[in-house]
């Protein structure tokens, strides 16, 4: 640590950058137009995506999707209950429910 301090004190105008930093700076200067072009293209794509999302959000929700009814609420609760059951019991219950529905429809 003292060696670094001695070096800086002897020659205060010396930069602490290494020669590899200088090489990287030179390559950055050569590739600057390419980097700027890529950055501009990425910014344009981001703007297009943002515009598309905003346009999608502005569209009204279609009225083709039906509103949920009491039957839908019952079925949602039934589905949640069925998911908690083990596979074999769930299959047996599904068969029983479908059999009951069939019987009531054919009375």
* Whole-angstrom distance, CA of residue 26 vs CA of residue 47: 31
What are the pLDDT digits (tens) for 63-80? 555 677 888 889 999 999
Q: Which residues contact 82 (CB under 8 A, 6 or more apart)?
A: 90, 93, 94
What are the pLDDT digits (tens) for 18-73? 444 455 554 555 556 777 777 777 777 778 888 888 887 887 766 555 677 888 88
* Whole-angstrom distance, CA of residue 90 vs CA of residue 98: 12
Q: What is the pTM of this model?
A: 0.38
Report CA-CA distances (Å) from 21 to 26, 42, 55, 59. 9, 27, 46, 52
């Amino acid at each position: 640590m003292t060696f670094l301090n001695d070096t800086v004190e002897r020659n205060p105008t010396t930069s602490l950058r290494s020669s590899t930093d200088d090489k990287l700076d030179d390559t950055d200067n050569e590739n600057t137009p390419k980097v700027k072009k890529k950055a501009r293209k990425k910014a344009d794509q981001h703007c297009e995506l943002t515009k598309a999302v905003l346009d999608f959000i502005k569209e009204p929700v279609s009225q083709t999707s039906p509103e949920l009814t009491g039957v839908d609420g019952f079925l949602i609760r039934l589905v949640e209950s069925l998911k908690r059951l083990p596979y074999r019991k769930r299959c047996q219950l599904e068969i029983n429910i479908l059999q009951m529905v069939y019987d009531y429809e054919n009375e």
